[in-house]
Amino acid sequence: MTVSGDLATIDLADLLQNIQVHSRTGTLTLRSEDGQAKVFFRDGNVALLASDGRVSLPERLVAAGVLARRKLEAADRKRGRRCALEVLVTAKVLTFEAAKQAAEEFLAEDIANLIAAAQGEFQFEEQKEPGRGFDADETSLQLALPVAPLILEATRRVDHWAEIKKFLPSEGMHFQARTGARCPAASEDPELAGQILGALDGSRSVKEVADLFPHQRFLAFKLMADFVRDRLARPTGTEDLLEIARGVESDDPARSRQLVRRALEREPHNLDLLAAEARLAEALDDGVAAAAARKLAGHLHLEAGRTDDALRELEYAKELTPTDQSLWERTLSLLIAQGRREEAVRDGLKLVSLHRGPGLHGRAKEVLEKLLRVAPDDDELHVELARCRVDCGESQEAVKQLARRGKTLIQKQDYVAARSLFEEVLDIEPGNREATVSIEMIDKEIFVRRRERKRRLVRLFLTVCGVAAFGAFACVELVARFAVVETWSLVSKERMVEQRQYQDVIVLWNAVRERHPWSLTAAFEVPRYVADMQARLQESTMLDISPGK
């Protein structure tokens, strides 16, 4: 017979009592978000428990101090197909009665906790023998715990759990004993309380501390809650966890990383924690996680305007995950924004190869078009873009693009590079007339001869223009010189200076300057004559108005 349902509609205590009243034998399976647990009943009594993370019986005997670790290791070497308890009892290391008593206590503890926290779905299937997954050592003891006492204990614990959760809201929290803290004298179990207080060093979570005492987990939780309530223990801060992680990094990097990751759950954007996570993940050969930490750190640096720091983090991440296309795209954008052309081209070509590998030719083309806006004279980029366009089915556009670039290179007299581009055109479109003719003209040096002929014509034209300009200038200057000579002749002939006709002489010289404005004579020589006449005129005027005249 199989019965299933949801614990939201039926109380687990009622279900267990029903199993005991009818003396059922079978397996009860409980499934919830926390995992899965199986309880085997024999004639209505609890006989076995298997749950996620439950420690084996021999290990719990060691943790409880009932069995020495070295004795268990020796038994493991001798056991063969037998269970460890059988070997231990046979060797008289442990009595059957002591083992059974401890196992009953452990089972009762776990079942009570299971009932107190029950949720999710259940299924009970009748069967004569337990299935796989149960502890062979526990099975060998033929345990039989009545349900009623377990339900009573679970009910008591439900009330306590509500109080415990006030001070221990999460099993993942870390606490550490305050300096000088001592266990209360009225503690339920002074010895256990002392051990728990000593275990609260900040490096262990609440769950990890409780796991140290698997035979008394509930009491361990209760005592920790009491310590927090009485301010004997305080929550471990993020900086405290980071400091503890650094302290154990050299000896136990895995443990150090575990602490760092717990701190990151509280402060996922803490740069010191991200740096520690990246370093530890890399040390433990987890390149993907290390790169993820570097990426997040780079993003945070970018948000804060620290571009150089962001680039440094992203470069580290690329070394760890060299095929991560998003990383290369990010660094490419940053390098372009900073104007670092050579580095941008280098990263861009790497990104292109990453895109083209899985056939993302369209994305590769977009990257190359972006790079050509940064480095328009890079012929390698032109060739790669043309090839991407061919892969995208745009052969005609590729040919036109290479032809345009080839013509530009011919104009720049870079015939070797131009020939290479036209050869690329022929690879894309064999028989392309423009490319064929251009290569032939380059090989026959027709472009070189044309260029040389053009240069000769330009030089000839410039020479002719220069001669013509010089001739015109000489004519202008000669005419101006004749005008100056004529003017001096007139001034001398009429004795205008001797007769103090300075104003008339000035008028004559100004007339020369106006008639020949483009000559050097009119620009430099005539103004001196004018200035001399003006000085004489001024002197004559001063003499005429002086007293005694």
Q: How far is the CA of 277 from the CAs of 239, 286, 317, 318, 473, in angstroms?
A: 14, 10, 13, 16, 83
Instruction: Please state, in angstroms and rounded to a whole number, the distance separating the CA atoms of residues 6 and 14.
Output: 13
The pTM for the full model equals 0.61
Per-residue pLDDT reduced to its tens digit, 201-252: 888 889 888 888 877 888 888 899 999 998 999 999 999 999 999 998 988 9
Would you state the structure tokens that stand for residue 415, as one six-digit string?
A: 């015939």
Q: Is the pLDDT of residue 106 over 80?
A: yes
In this predicted model, which residue has the larger pLDDT, 418 or 34? 418
Would you state the structure tokens that stand for residue 432, as one six-digit string?
A: 């392309």
Question: Cβ(347)–Cβ(326) under 8 Å?
Answer: no
Report the pLDDT value the prediction gives residue 448, as an integer from 0 to 100: 82
Report the pLDDT value the prediction gives residue 549, as an integer from 0 to 100: 43
Question: Cβ(221)–Cβ(113) under 8 Å?
Answer: no
Nearest CA to 191 among 218, 216, 154?
A: 216
Instruction: Please state, in angstroms and rounded to a whole number, the distance separating the CA atoms of residues 410 and 432.
Output: 18
Would you state the structure tokens that stand for residue 404, as one six-digit string?
A: 């345009």
Q: Is the pLDDT of residue 11 over 80?
A: yes
Report the pLDDT value the prediction gives residue 181, as an integer from 0 to 100: 81
Q: How far is the CA of 525 from the CAs of 175, 181, 187, 487, 492, in angstroms?
A: 102, 109, 121, 13, 18
Instruction: Please state, in angstroms and rounded to a whole number, the distance separating the CA atoms of residues 385 and 313.
Output: 30
Q: What is the CA radius of gyration of the chain?
A: 50
Q: How many CB atoms within 10 Å of residue 485?
A: 10
Q: Is the pLDDT of residue 347 over 70?
A: yes
Per-residue pLDDT reduced to its tens digit, 494-524: 888 888 888 988 899 899 889 988 888 888 8
Report the pLDDT value the prediction gives residue 546, as an integer from 0 to 100: 64
* C-alpha torsion angle, residues 20, 21, 26, 30 (rounded to 10): -60
Report the pLDDT value the prediction gives residue 254, as an integer from 0 to 100: 92
Residue 378 half-sphere exposure toward CB, CA atoms < 13 A: 20
- CB burial readout 332-362, b (16+ within 10 A) else e: bebbbeeeeeebbbebbbbbbebbbeeebbe
What letter represents residue 463's amino acid? T
Q: Is the pLDDT of residue 145 over 50?
A: yes
Q: Is the pLDDT of residue 40 over 90?
A: yes
Instruction: Please state, in angstroms and rounded to a whole number, the distance separating the CA atoms of residues 194 and 174.
Output: 18
Instruction: Please state, in angstroms and rounded to a whole number, the distance separating the CA atoms of residues 549 and 538.
Output: 17
By CB atoms closer than 10 A (0-12, 13-18, 19+), residue 227 is buried
Nearest CA to 434 among 442, 422, 445?
A: 422
By CB atoms closer than 10 A (0-12, 13-18, 19+), residue 421 is buried
Report the pLDDT value the prediction gives residue 313, as an integer from 0 to 100: 92
Q: How many CB atoms within 10 Å of residue 193?
A: 22
Weakest-pLDDT range from 147-161, 311-325, 430-444: 147-161
Nearest CA to 41 among 150, 146, 153?
A: 146
Report the pLDDT value the prediction gives residue 160, as an integer from 0 to 100: 84
Query: What's the gap between Cα 520 and its chain centre?
Result: 73
Query: Three-state secondary structure along 32-50?
Result: ECCEEEEEEEECCEEEEEE
Q: How far is the CA of 434 from the CAs of 305, 415, 416, 425, 543, in angstroms?
A: 51, 15, 16, 9, 89
Residue ranges of domains in the chain, CATH in brackets: 2-160 (no CATH), 168-236 (1.10.10), 453-544 (1.20.58)
Query: Reduced to 3 states, what is the DSSP secondary structure of residue 462?
Result: helix
Question: Cβ(290)–Cβ(320) under 8 Å?
Answer: yes
The residue with tokens 């606490």 is 175
Report the pLDDT value the prediction gives residue 485, as an integer from 0 to 100: 92
State the alpha helices, DSSP H only, in 117-135: none
Instruction: Please state, in angstroms and rounded to a whole number, the distance separating the CA atoms of residues 14 and 151.
Output: 9
Q: What is the DSSP letter of 218?
A: H
Report the pLDDT value the prediction gives residue 187, as an integer from 0 to 100: 67
Question: Cβ(223)–Cβ(212) under 8 Å?
Answer: no
Average the pLDDT over 140-147 and give the result.
91
Query: Reduced to 3 states, what is the DSSP secondary structure of residue 143?
Result: coil
Per-residue pLDDT reduced to its tens digit, 70-97: 888 888 888 777 888 888 888 888 888 9
**In which order are the strands placed within the sheet that holds 35-42?**
2-6, 121-126, 26-32, 35-42, 45-51
Per-residue pLDDT reduced to its tens digit, 204-213: 889 888 888 8
Sign of the four-CA dihedral 111, 115, 118, 122: positive
* Banded pLDDT at 274 (limits 50, 70, 90): very high
What letter represents residue 483's amino acid? A
Instruction: Please state, in angstroms and rounded to a whole number, the distance separating the CA atoms of residues 209 and 201.
Output: 10
Query: Reduced to 3 states, what is the DSSP secondary structure of residue 517?
Result: coil
Average the pLDDT over 431-453 and give the result.
88
Q: Is the pLDDT of residue 361 over 50?
A: yes
Q: Is the pLDDT of residue 272 over 60?
A: yes
Report the pLDDT value the prediction gives residue 451, as an integer from 0 to 100: 84
State the alpha helices, DSSP H only, in 177-270: 190-199, 206-211, 217-229, 238-248, 253-266
